[in-house]
Amino acid sequence: MNTQEHISLVDRYSAHNYKPLPVVLSRGDGAWVWDVEGKKYLDCLAAYSAVNQGHRHPKIVEAARAQLDRITLTSRAFHNDRMGPFLQELCDLLGYESALPMNTGAEAVETAFKAVRRWGYRVKGVEKDRAEIIVCEDNFHGRTTTIISFSAEGGSRDDFGPFAPGFRKIPYGDIDALRGAITENTVAFLVEPIQGEAGVNIPPEGFLREAADVCRENRVLLVADEIQSGLGRTGKMLCAEWDGVRPDVVTVGKAISGGLYPVSAVLADREIMDVFQPGDHGSTFGGNPLGAEIARASLKVLVEEKLPERALELGNWFMDELRTMDSPHLHEVRGRGLMIGIEIRKESGPARPFCEALMERGILAKETHEQVIRIAPPLVIEREDLEWALGELREVLA
Under the rule (CB under 6 A), what is the footprint of ligand PLP?
48, 104-106, 109, 140-142, 192, 196, 225, 227-228, 253
Minimum CB–partner distance for residue 299 and ligand PLP (Å): 17
Q: How many DSSP H helices and E strands does the chain contain?
A: 13, 15
Nearer to ligand PLP, 28 or 253 (CB): 253
Nearer to ligand PLP, 171 or 349 (CB): 171
Minimum CB–partner distance for residue 291 and ligand PLP (Å): 13
Lateral strand order in the sheet of 363-364: 25-29, 32-35, 40-43, 363-364
Minimum CB–partner distance for residue 123 and ligand PLP (Å): 25
- Select the residue whose beta carbon is closest to ligand PLP and give its number: 105
- Check residue 380 and report its DSSP letter: T
Of the candidates 225, 248, 285, 385, the residue annotated as catalytic is 225
Minimum CB–partner distance for residue 226 and ligand PLP (Å): 8
Nearer to ligand PLP, 138 or 213 (CB): 138
19 catalytic? Reply is no
Nearer to ligand PLP, 155 or 278 (CB): 155
Minimum CB–partner distance for residue 58 and ligand PLP (Å): 24
Nearer to ligand PLP, 106 or 237 (CB): 106
Asked if 242 contacts 336 with a C-beta cutoff of 8 angstroms, the reply is yes
Nearer to ligand PLP, 253 or 377 (CB): 253
Asked if 367 contacts 328 with a C-beta cutoff of 8 angstroms, the reply is no
254 catalytic? Reply is yes
Minimum CB–partner distance for residue 369 and ligand PLP (Å): 13
Of the candidates 86, 113, 140, 189, the residue annotated as catalytic is 140
- Check residue 194 and report its DSSP letter: S
35 catalytic? Reply is no
Of the candidates 113, 254, 354, 366, the residue annotated as catalytic is 254
- Catalytic machinery residues: 140, 225, 254
